[in-house]
Structure 1
Amino acid sequence: MKDLRTDAEAIEWLGVRYKTILSSAQTNGAMSIVDSWSPAGSGPPRHIHANEDETFVMLSGTCKVWIAGKETNVGPGESIFIPRGTDHTFKVIGDEPSRHLVILTPGGFEGFFADMADGQFRIPEDMPAVEESAKRHHLTFTGPPLE
């Protein structure tokens, strides 16, 4: 696998690098797979995907994953499934970054990452623009990132 930090096809938002390796267009909307490189300490605010199931396949690093009030640490070689409609978030813990595949079924949410990279929106300063894209991608923010 290419190093996402130097891959010209990868996009970046808030220090996280994303590369769609299987788009919803390639699967007639059935799914998408995004390769993600996240620096230590990073993680999104708590949120819910209304339409997509989400699976993380951990390649390197460790993430603390919070799903509906339950925390689990997942590391290389492990996977975790987050059903659609479930409140969740994660944070990269330890000193090393995390590289993980994000499998979304059905596909289409990869467009949110593209919107964020295109606009280079900041949280919380640019939340109206982030929320506008989130709404189009059936994403609802429900709380802060993990401490």
Structure 2
Amino acid sequence: MSKGRFILLNPGESRLPMPPPTTLKAGAADTEGRFSLIENQGHHDLPSHVHDAFDELVFVLDGELGVDFDGRRHHLTAGMCALLPRGVTHAMRALSEAPVHALHLFSPGGWEAHPEAGQAAESGDIGRFYVLQRGEVRPGRIKVPPAFAAKARGTDTDGRLSLLEMVVAQDIPRHIHHAADEGIYVLDGELVVEYDDRTDKVGKGQFVLLPHGVPHALRCGSAPPPRVIQISSPGGWECFVEDLIEARPHITTGGRLDPVKLNPIAAKYDITYGVP
């Protein structure tokens, strides 16, 4: 059942044994095949290769990473990210003596079963590739506050997932995602996660997987508030955020999000607030 798929990993912990300096934060077996999340703190020297089945989203936490794509080298530093579409040749290498610390998100899941860089005939859409600078976001229907920075939208990933760099400055009341799994990697600060009947404090470098169908809440546990990478699969969370921003004056009571007022909007995204 979904409840048993909950994961909380400390920095350096891995779901499966992986060649150092790689750790598996969530694999296909954890996410019902939706995505795999890898954390790497090494030199990232990977020769030219093709993923024939997986899109790869790379988010650099520290260091300097070179991504070779379509005859050009892209220089990624902390806070930058890139989407590498399946079926297109690319390579990676460290551009500094210090190790590169990065998150690699593969969609669909399963990369951990085939981690070797391979060769295959190119069959992908080169136009899906993009690089985002630190602070840059994917364009959406409306402009949203920097606290909800969309780095990958459902429209970028064939609907498989969304990825946001978020600041959790306001408590998110108890709710259920009926369809989407939620993964959270804490970049800075402390996030309080209430899941079912347990409460955990999740700090820098920790990862938590919140499977669909189980009540949970998120609370700010530090000052300044926690900054996180938030993965939602299937995608679409960014569209919900846009709807909330537009409706903001009408969905609060006493300055706090009101579950009763939230639910007519949330229902469109298979989310229910105010659950026991």
Query: Conserved in 1, the CA contact under 8 Å of 2:177 and 2:270?
Result: yes
Q: For the residues of structure 2 that align with 1:127 and 1:86, how far apart are their CA atoms?
A: 17
Mapped pair 1:68 → 2:196: yes
Q: Tell me if structure 1 keeps the 8 A contact 2:135–2:149.
A: no
| Other structure's SS at 1:11 match | coil
Which amino acid letter does the alignment assign opposite residue 22 of structure 1? A
The superposition leaves residues 56-113 of structure 1 with CA deviations (integer Å, 9 ceiling, x where unpaired) of 0100110110100101110111110000011000111132211101101111122110
Match of 2:271 among 120, 139, 144: 139
Q: Answer whether contact 2:262 2:273 (CA < 8 A) is retained.
A: no
Which amino acid is 1:141 matched to? Y
**Cα distance between partner residues in 2 of 1:3 and 1:61:** 19
Distance (whole Å) between structure 2 residues aligned to residue 3 and residue 21 of structure 1: 9
Report the Cα distance in structure 2 between the residues aligned to 1:66 and 1:128, rounded to whole angstroms: 20
Larger radius of gyration: 2
Residue-pair matches, total: 135
Distance in 1 (CA, whole Å) between partners of 2:208 and 2:267 is 25
* 8 A Cα contact 1:66 1:88, kept in partner: yes
After TM superposition, the structure 1 = structure 2 runs for residues 107-126 of structure 1, keeping only pairs within 5 Å, are 107-121=235-249, 122-124=251-253
Name the CA distance, whole Å, in 2 between partners of 1:35 and 1:106: 17
TM-score under structure 1 length normalisation: 0.81
Helix, strand or coil for the counterpart of 1:25? helix
User: For the residues of structure 1 that align with 2:272 and 2:149, how far apart are their CA atoms?
Assistant: 23
Aligned partner of 1:31 in structure 2 is 161
Provide the C-alpha distance between the structure 2 equivalents of 1:142 and 1:127, rounded to a whole number of angstroms.
Answer: 5
Of residues 77-86 and 105-114 in structure 1, the stretch that sits farther from structure 2 once superposed is 105-114
Structure 1: distance between partners of 2:229 and 2:160: 16
How far did residue 38 of structure 1 move? 2.2
Q: CA 1:43/1:127 → structure 2, altered by over 3 Å: closer, same or farther?
A: closer
Any unmatched runs of 5+ in structure 1? Answer: none
Equivalent pair of 1:10/1:17 in contact (CA under 8 Å):
no
Whole-angstrom distance in 2 between the partners of 1:24 and 1:99: 21
Residues 87 and 142 in structure 1, CA contact (< 8 A), matched pair in contact too: no
Aligned to 2:176: 48
AA matched with 2:172: P
Of the structure 1 ranges 124-133 and 90-99, higher mean CA displacement relative to structure 2 is found in 124-133
Task: Report the identity percentage.
Answer: 24
Matched letter for residue 124 of structure 1: T
Choose between structure 1 and 2 for higher RCO, CA contacts under 8 A separated by at least 6 residues.
1
Shift of 1:3: 5.5
The runs of 5 or more residues in structure 2 that have no matched partner are: 1-78, 80-133, 137-141
Q: Is residue 31–residue 108 contact of structure 1 (8 Å, CA) maintained in 2? A: yes
The structure-2 alpha-carbon separation of the partners of 1:3 and 1:97, relative to structure 1 and needing over 3 Å to count, comes to farther
